[in-house]
Amino acid sequence: MSANRRHTMLAVVLAVVVGAGTPVRAQMTVFDPSNYSQTVLTAARALQQVNNQIQSLQNQATSLINEARNLASLPYSALEQLQQTIGQTQQLLTQAQRIAYDVNAIDQVFTRAYPQSYASSTSSPQLIADAQTRWQNSLAGFQDAMRVQAGVVQNLDRTRDQISNLVSSSQSATGALQAAQSGNQLIALQTNQLADLTAVMASIARAQSLESARSVASQAQAREQLERFLNYGPGYQAQTVQIFH
């Protein structure tokens, strides 16, 4: 074999060896433990951040739900019915007969029909008319008192239903606002009952005051008749009616 041929064959073998060695080195996988650990740690941290964000969103949602409950208005309201009840009682008081619940009106009526004394020149028909007026005032006062009492008694059924509904609403309240509203309405209901009681007591006191005033005026009139009898002697005849005493 010539030297040139040998050189050519050696070059071919070297080329094959080099060419075959290059792909083998490219297919090998290199494992880096430190890089793998860092990658796992980074993923774990990212997952923890996601969990924290999810928990934060859940807490915010719960807070919003609680705030919505606390701001939820009470579905039942007795205020309109309470206002109607108070209005009805007040209307009964304003319908007082003959003498209204008015300071000026009372002063005028008492000055005219309930004088502290009668002049000697007062005629007997005037005395009889004043006595009848006082009797009618007393009768109307007692009738007005009974009307107010009847109106308050009629309100008891409505009040009982309102108390039942408000207590039920208070027990089933889902938030602070509903609980506060039910409590306020219960207080308003108690205030309404106190107002009714005040109206009843005022009407009774009015009737008793009119009757007491009538009695006092009748005594004054009796004294006036006695004085006239003493002044005019047996010829004087008292012009009074028994029912007015």
Q: For residue 223, what are its two tokens? A: 């004294």
- Residue 115 confidence (pLDDT): 81
pLDDT in tens, 108-153: 888 888 887 777 777 878 888 888 999 999 999 999 999 999 998 8
- Residue 201 confidence (pLDDT): 92
User: What number is the average pLDDT over the span 196-206?
Assistant: 90
- Residue 71 confidence (pLDDT): 57
* pTM of the complete model: 0.59
pLDDT band at 13 (very low <50, low <70, confident <90, very high): very low
The four Cα atoms 203, 115, 216, 130 give a dihedral, to 10 degrees, of: -80
Secondary element (H or E) of residue 133: helix 124-171
The CB density around residue 149, as the number of other CB atoms within 10 Å, is 16
- Burial annotation 219-238 (CB, 10 A radius, 16+ → b, else e): eebeebbeebeeeeeeeeee
pLDDT band at 9 (very low <50, low <70, confident <90, very high): low
Helices (H), 95-123: 103-113
What angle (nearest 5°) sits at the alpha carbon of residue 57, between those of residues 56 and 58? Answer: 90
Cβ atoms of 194 and 146 within 8 Å: the answer is no
User: What distance in Å separates the CA atoms of residue 227 and residue 60, rounded to the nearest whole number?
Assistant: 93
Give the count of alpha carbons within 13 A of 98, CB side only: 19
Weakest-pLDDT range from 9-13, 89-93, 198-202: 9-13
User: What distance in Å separates the CA atoms of residue 98 and residue 114, rounded to the nearest whole number?
Assistant: 14
User: What distance in Å separates the CA atoms of residue 240 and residue 109, rounded to the nearest whole number?
Assistant: 21
> What is the widest separation between alpha-carbon atoms in the chain?
193
